[in-house]
């Protein structure tokens, strides 16, 4: 019972993510979704009462990922700057490899088409980044005079912009390189010399500046 049901649910959710990611919320028909994996319309309706609910489920699926990621990485990297760096890499990797993540991101950006139940985009990322920047300052890695709030927004913005661009150019090909480039540009304006030289080797990939 429960096993088959939850498998069907996952199949539907995956097909939905696939289609939502490719075409967006409004241009996706439920027909597209059910045809993709051969499930029936009734099965969809059984698990999700509406298109909106399906989209929200996709978003939730992808949102539930972040706490897991952060608790997995945090013990490994006590230094907040390093943690941010690895976090961004992990997010980039997930974006590259998981349709669910990409779909979730896209749907969140289209939240005004779906409903207020979808969380606002970026805000959780920004606050998380701001928090980590605060830790970095306490750890003495930051340059003096860095405006935490604006910097957090800038980091998230660059990152988001990169995701969008790399999706257009080469299908999620060099996103890891993009992240390196980003940090190469950001770190000099963010951390002090000691930290910078320590981090240098981590973002040495042949990008931005050799």
Partner DNA sequence: ACTCCCGGGACGGCCCGTTTCT
Partner DNA sequence: AGAAACGGGCCGTCCCGGGAGT
Positions in the binding site for DNA (CB under 7 A): 1-2, 4-5, 7-9, 28-32, 39-47, 49-52
> Per rule CB under 8 A, is residue 1 in the interface with its own copies?
no
Question: What is the smallest separation between the CB atom of 45 and DNA, expressed in angstroms?
Answer: 3
If the CB atoms of residues 20 and 183 are measured against DNA, the closer one turns out to be: 20
Question: What is the smallest separation between the CB atom of 107 and DNA, expressed in angstroms?
Answer: 13
**Cα distance between residue 57 and residue 64, in whole Å:** 10
**Cα distance between residue 6 and residue 12, in whole Å:** 10
What is the DSSP-derived secondary structure letter of residue 1?
-
Residue 46 binding: pick among its own copies, DNA, none (C-beta 5-8 Å cut-off by kind):
DNA
Cβ(129)–Cβ(155) under 8 Å?
yes
Residue 184 binding: pick among DNA, its own copies, none (C-beta 5-8 Å cut-off by kind):
its own copies
If the CB atoms of residues 32 and 110 are measured against DNA, the closer one turns out to be: 32
Question: What is the smallest separation between the CB atom of 41 and DNA, expressed in angstroms?
Answer: 3
Cβ(115)–Cβ(25) under 8 Å?
no
Q: For the stretch 168-205, what's the b/e string if a residue is b when 16 or more beta carbons lie within 10 angstroms of its beta carbon?
A: eeeebeebbbbbbbbbbebbeebbeeebeeebeeebeb
115: how many CB neighbours lie within 10 A of its CB? 12
Residue 31 binding: pick among its own copies, DNA, none (C-beta 5-8 Å cut-off by kind):
DNA
Candidates 157, 144, 202, 206; CA nearest to 177 is: 206
Question: What is the smallest separation between the CB atom of 68 and DNA, expressed in angstroms?
Answer: 25
Please state the φ and ψ torsions of residue 172, each to the nearest 5 degrees.
Answer: 55, 30
Binding mask 170-189 for its own copies (x = CB under 8 A): -------xx--xx-xxx-xx
Binding mask 57-96 for its own copies (x = CB under 8 A): ----------------------------------------
Residue 42 binding: pick among DNA, its own copies, none (C-beta 5-8 Å cut-off by kind):
DNA
If the CB atoms of residues 46 and 188 are measured against DNA, the closer one turns out to be: 46
What H or E segment, with its residue span, contains residue 67? helix 65-73
Please choose, out of 51-59, 65-73, 129-137, 157-165, the segment that lies near its own copies by the rule CB under 8 A: 157-165
Cβ(16)–Cβ(79) under 8 Å?
no
């Amino acid at each position: 019972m429960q096993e088959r049901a939850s498998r069907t649910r996952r199949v539907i959710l995956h097909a939905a993510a696939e289609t939502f990611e490719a075409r967006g919320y409004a241009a996706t028909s439920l027909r597209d979704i059910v045809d993709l994996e051969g499930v029936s319309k009734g099965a969809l309706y059984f698990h999700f009462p509406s298109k909106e609910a399906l989209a929200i489920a996709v978003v939730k699926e992808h949102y539930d990922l972040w706490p897991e990621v952060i608790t997995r990485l945090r013990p490994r990297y006590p230094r907040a700057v390093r943690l941010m760096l690895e976090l961004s890499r992990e997010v980039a990797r997930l974006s590259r490899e998981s349709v669910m993540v990409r779909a979730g991101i896209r749907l969140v950006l289209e939240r005004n088409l779906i409903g207020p139940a979808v969380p606002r985009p970026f805000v959780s990322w920004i606050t998380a980044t701001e928090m980590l920047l605060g830790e970095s300052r306490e750890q003495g890695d930051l340059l003096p005079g860095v405006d935490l709030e604006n910097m957090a927004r800038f980091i998230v913005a660059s990152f988001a912009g990169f995701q969008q661009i790399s999706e257009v150019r080469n299908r999620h090909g060099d996103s890891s390189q993009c992240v390196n480039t980003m940090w190469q540009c950001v770190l000099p304006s963010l951390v002090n010399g000691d930290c910078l030289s320590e981090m240098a080797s981590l973002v040495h990939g042949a990008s931005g500046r050799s």
